[in-house]
Amino acid sequence: MEDRIFIKGNKDGLNAVIDMNKFNSFDDMLDAFIEKLSRGKRFYKDSTMKLTTDLKRINEREASRLKDVLLNDFEIKDCIFEEIEEKTLKGFRGVTEGKTKFIRKTVRGGQRIDYGGNLVIVGDVNPGSEIFAGGNVIVLGQLRGYVHAGLGGDERAIVAAFSLQPEILQIGDLVTRSPEDNLKPQFPEVAKIKDGSIVVEPYLPNKFI
């Protein structure tokens, strides 16, 4: 039941979303949380973690216990608690839902790929190519062509790539271009719609999923 806890990284630190409705008790949740964090322990040191959960399900003593585990066992610098909203849970459904098509090749300039569900491309997407997906687009390589995820207006879709350098990127009805002469970071990134605009965030390794 990996969908009970989500951990995401952003420019401000880490955000852990915990669905307490899917645990029998606080101890059950804490054990699962510790197991998940242990997979990438060295990445959490000196970071700030925001915990988004149903605070009505955690009393003051349990919150203090959870904070002690994060600060002492995982060397997290600071821990901030935030009340969860229903829309937050809906926004963390991941990229495994619905039908998915795998493309195991490089998409060359002039080629166009259309699919009504999620697209996973194992290879590069070269300049001059076009990718259209009804769901999410995941590229295990460089993405440098034109990509449109959430075809039909689905603003929940994401675009992720090992190297995210699209000529034009569209999610739902929103469109953006990559800045010219922009030095790209050497780590995977995820583009998504947040607060009415497309934002790009670092994608942490699978240890954080």
Q: Is residue 138 part of a domain?
A: yes
Structure tokens at 168: 């034009």
Q: What is the pLDDT of residue 164?
A: 92
Q: Is residue 74 part of a domain?
A: yes
- Residue 114 φ then ψ, to 5°: -120, 135
Q: Read off the CATH number of the domain in which 183 is found.
A: 2.160.20.70
Is residue 47 located within the same domain as residue 138?
A: no
Is residue 132 located within the same domain as residue 155?
A: yes
For the beta carbon of residue 91, count every other beta carbon within 10 angstroms.
13
Domain with 24, as residue range(s), is: 2-90
Is residue 197 located within the same domain as residue 111?
A: yes
Please tell me which residue, 125 or 154, carries the higher pLDDT value: 125
The pairs formed by 73-76 with CB atoms below 8 angstroms and a separation of 24 or more are: 73/34, 74/37, 74/41, 74/44, 74/45, 75/44, 75/45, 75/46, 76/14, 76/44, 76/45, 76/46, 76/47, 76/48, 76/49
Q: What is the pLDDT of residue 1?
A: 42
Residues in CB range of 97: below 8 A, 6 or more apart: 118, 135
Is residue 67 located within the same domain as residue 128?
A: no
Each residue of 87-101: pLDDT tens digit? Answer: 444 444 444 456 888
Would you place residue 82 in the very low, low, confident or very high pLDDT band (cuts 50, 70, 90)?
A: confident
In 3D space, the residue among 165, 149, 146 whose CA is nearest the CA of residue 115 turns out to be 149
Each residue of 34-61: pLDDT tens digit? Answer: 988 887 777 778 888 888 888 888 999 9
Structure tokens at 42: 């060295």
Is residue 14 located within the same domain as residue 78?
A: yes
Is residue 130 located within the same domain as residue 169?
A: yes
For the chain, how many structural domains are there in total? 2
